[in-house]
Copies of this chain bind each other. A is one copy, B any other.
Amino acid sequence: MAAVRLGEIVARFGGELIGDGDRTIVQVASLEQARPDEISFLSHPKYRTQLSTTRAGAVILSRQAAAASPSACIVSEQPYLYFARVSRWLNPGHTPPAGIHPTATVASRLPASVSVGAGAVIGEACTIGENVVVGPGCVVGEGVAIGADSLLHAKVSVYPGCLIGRRAIVHAGAVIGADGFGFAPEADGSWLKIPQIGGVIIGDDVEIGANTTIDRGALDDTVIEDGVKLDNQIQVGHNVCIGAHSALAGCVGIAGSARIGRRCTVGGGSVILGHIAIADGVNISAGTLVAKSITRAGNYTGTVPFLEHADWLKNFARLRHLDAMADKIRALEAQVARLAEQEK
């Protein structure tokens, strides 16, 4: 990696430099681990104590924190965002060379700029954009479209007919376009499979985590709008729509036909039931079950505190008797009111 001077960083990304502009930086690092040729950042006050002991050559931080910096620093109103830009500049990633690996099986015409890894399979009638990378072991079904500059890591499966936008990043093991879970009950208790003839439409700038699954629609399409970020092991049911720039943490499950608004965040392990709608700008806490629609932006939570097991046994057993407790309180209120009346 080439070294850059602090002066070059500020010239490129703005901010105010306090210290020697000729100091060279080769990488970003955490406050705790940074070496003198690395740049770090401080965005959360929780970590401010690390500022006094860091060996970083420079730190990106807010105006308020700058005074406490023992090293050179770059003052920014958004240290985390500034740091992200610097890190992206220093770590552009490296793309595998263009070309089709001899062990790949490709049945569509591809631009010369596309890279197809070992053992990857691309079906017929696919439309693959410039500079797309299809990692080793991927399986891309018939009629799939993938926009320019998208990157599929190893072993991604894309079922026939799915559409992926530009600049997508799809991590290993993700499955896009498997059949939604749709069955009609027969009189004898068995299930009749309903053909899942909808597709999956994924916008631009979407990231999809490892082993995440996005089912195809039953009739209409499953839709992931521009800029959505999905962490690992998320399950997206058929006909779900996730609005632009929403970000969902790991292990979230979304049942069929749920609609999530734009710029929402969903914490890890949450479950969103089917056929409900969540407004734009809603933040769901980790571990929450969303069992009905949410019509207003805001923060929503539905989790229980953990306790030492013995305390939990005592307290949570009461949950089975909450209704009885409420009845007792009502009875007491009536009795006390009567007593107070007699007292007069």
Q: B-contacting residues of A (Cβ < 8 Å)? A: 27-30, 32-33, 78, 80-81, 83-85, 87-88, 90-91, 93, 101, 103, 105, 117-119, 121, 135-137, 139, 141, 153-155, 157, 159, 169, 171-173, 175, 178-179, 181, 183-186, 189-195, 197, 205, 207, 209-211, 213, 215, 219-220, 227, 229, 231-233, 235, 237, 245, 247, 249-251, 253, 255, 262-263, 268-269, 271, 273, 284-291, 298-323, 325-326, 328-329, 332-333, 335-336, 339-340, 342-343
Contact B197 A28 (CB under 8 A): yes
Asked if A328 meets B329 with Cβ closer than 8 Å, knowing A317-B305, A321-B315, the reply is yes
8 further A-B contacts with Cβ under 8 Å, apart from A84-B183, A181-B231, A191-B247, are A84-B193, A87-B195, A119-B137, A172-B175, A253-B268, A271-B287, A329-B329, A339-B340
Contact B290 A306 (CB under 8 A): yes
Contacting A320 at CB < 8 Å: which of B90, B250, B311? B311
Query: Which residues on B sit within 8 Å (CB–CB) of A285?
Result: 309
Contact B325 A329 (CB under 8 A): yes
Contact B235 A235 (CB under 8 A): no
A186 to B263, CA, bound (A): 12
Contact B249 A255 (CB under 8 A): yes
Contact B157 A139 (CB under 8 A): no
Query: Which residues on B sit within 8 Å (CB–CB) of A197?
Result: 27-28, 87, 91
A249 to B336, CA, bound (A): 50
- The copy count of this chain in the complex is 3
Query: Which residues on B sit within 8 Å (CB–CB) of A321?
Result: 315, 326
A310 to B301, CA, bound (A): 9
Query: Which residues on B sit within 8 Å (CB–CB) of A29?
Result: 219-220
Nearest 7 A/B pairs, CB to CB = A302-B306, A269-B271, A299-B309, A91-B195, A157-B172, A318-B322, A139-B154
Contact A268 B269 (CB under 8 A): no
A183 to B32, CA, bound (A): 20
Query: Which residues on B sit within 8 Å (CB–CB) of A169?
Result: 179, 193
